[in-house]
Structure 1
């Protein structure tokens, strides 16, 4: 059991521990969803007041905000020595983003994407997944490899900042306390919710006899991917499918390079054989998505259904 389990209030004697852990998972997911929403809102407003370009806000602040649950959960699990949950959360979240969420949004409305997203961000997503698979092949993510992943993310952010510098807005130099308050409250909820989700997920895996990898790939990944799902679905319903695609691709890049990179820097991670296999499946899904984008610069409803079906098959194979 991880070190933080004792920090929780123990359930009354005679009650089913699993039921309480499920309740904790629900509370944690709500905290993650609400916290990420407040974080994105507050950070976006602060960034605009600083004169940060809209493109950079979308691909950095929003992408980071929706990836904040993955950051909190993955780093918390790494500190607790739960490497399978750390790796499975990132791999599972990216598979969910590109399968259930991206495919599901396309089922709601065919998704048009820009050439820039396909040629720059899409190809970078493939490259980042390839890099993740290469460093994981030896069964370990060292601090040096984590630093390489994180440095790659920083280089990407610098490139985005330069690309968006021409459209920079004028800074107002005026801060509103509610914006800063939202940012801080959202961050606190994400960190607290992520911690609670890891603790509860580990307990469920132990009691139910399910591997931590499966729990991380399903329950934890689904919980931390809620912000991406809500943001992308809302954008699709409003007819802004480009935002949906950009948010999901940006979040996946943050997850692969930033989340696991920082986690390995904090505490080197072991990668089980099933983790390597899961990363290989993620690479296949990533390549398929970019190819589907590139062929017609549109993700149709049929193609969205294909991605959802593949994601469902992956879940089924891991649960069996």
Structure 2
């Protein structure tokens, strides 16, 4: 039954990811704003729904380590796997878009999280600081969207249907987000059950299977976006999801319940997250395409991190 859950979850994720990308691109065309903005907001927030559910539930269940580890682990997965794997399938043309501003915000959010983590506990007021940062970032995205509102949809005429009815757009985005959430839930439940049968510890399950499982919506969305030559949606999805994970998910979770920060996470995992963010600099700052070799390097780096977690005993 657990294997059936895994299979159903994967199928649902694939279908939902494709539908979500179609709806997101059509939304951008209808509003006359860059697809990047949609990727940074609607798509990123939607694909981060599983992380939100897992972290809040873990905090309420008295498992703050899982809540914090899920977000940090998911961000690492996003940057190394969610961009690495699609690049093996189709080149992500990062050179064609400018994500430097949103990338700087992601780095700032990561630095803010590390600074708050060194206080020992991310409590209610730290959570409010993170939520405040989210409001500022959303306000900046809104300003950017307004500045580009009059941009000609002809620039993206081959990327989607600029005349798709609003009902259809809403249906695509709504079904896509729901499908991603349910698909990820099915897959994570099945994978965790199989892992427990195999004898893996709760800590290892939380840092690996849960983090990877809740990042599957981002992976499927990015793969579909890469196949559809939508580099802005793929890269915007990852950057936006990382910002949302830190500012919204940890912010909300910390307001609900304090999150003690394990010493091991301060010594290792948070710095891996920051290092992974810096590996994206050549693609964002220098606007280099993410090709197969780059994708392979990102995946190898993640496998090395996983090796340390599973066998080195350093991870939180």
User: TM-score, with normalisation over the residues of structure 2?
Assistant: 0.77
Deviation at 1:261, TM superposition (A): 1.2
1:85 matches 2:75: no
Aligned with 1:126 (options 93, 100, 107):
107
Aligned with 1:107 (options 77, 84, 88):
88
In 2, distance between residues paired with 1:309 and 1:72? 29
Deviation at 1:298, TM superposition (A): 2.4
Query: Once superposed, what is the RMSD of the aligned Cα atoms?
Result: 3.6
1:218 matches 2:208: yes
Aligned match of 2:251: 261
Aligned with 2:126 (options 126, 136, 145):
145
Unaligned 5+ runs, structure 2? 151-164, 312-316
1:160 matches 2:141: yes
What pairs with 1:1-320 in structure 2 (closer than 5 Å)?
55-113=36-94, 117-168=98-149, 176=167, 179=170, 183=174, 187=178, 190=181, 194=185, 197=188, 201=192, 208=199, 210-212=201-203, 214-276=204-266, 277-320=268-311
Q: 1:196 to 1:96 in 2, by over 3 A?
A: closer
The 3-state SS of whatever aligns with 2:147 is helix
In 1, distance between residues paired with 2:22 and 2:231? 20
- Whether the 8 Å contact between 1:85 and 1:215 is mirrored in structure 2 is no
The 3-state SS of whatever aligns with 1:208 is coil
- Whether the 8 Å contact between 2:55 and 2:66 is mirrored in structure 1 is yes
Deviation at 1:194, TM superposition (A): 4.7
Unaligned 5+ runs, structure 1? 1-19
Deviation at 1:273, TM superposition (A): 2.0
Q: Which segment drifts farther, 182-191 or 223-232? A: 182-191
Deviation at 1:41, TM superposition (A): 7.5
- Whether the 8 Å contact between 2:92 and 2:229 is mirrored in structure 1 is no
Q: 1:86 to 1:77 in 2, by over 3 A?
A: same
Can you list the C-alpha shifts for 1:105-153, whole angstroms capped at 9, x where unaligned? 2222332225874420111111111111111123321111111111111
In 1, distance between residues paired with 2:126 and 2:44? 23
- Whether the 8 Å contact between 1:25 and 1:201 is mirrored in structure 2 is no
Can you list the C-alpha shifts for 1:197-220, whole angstroms capped at 9, x where unaligned? 5798499569935142x2122111
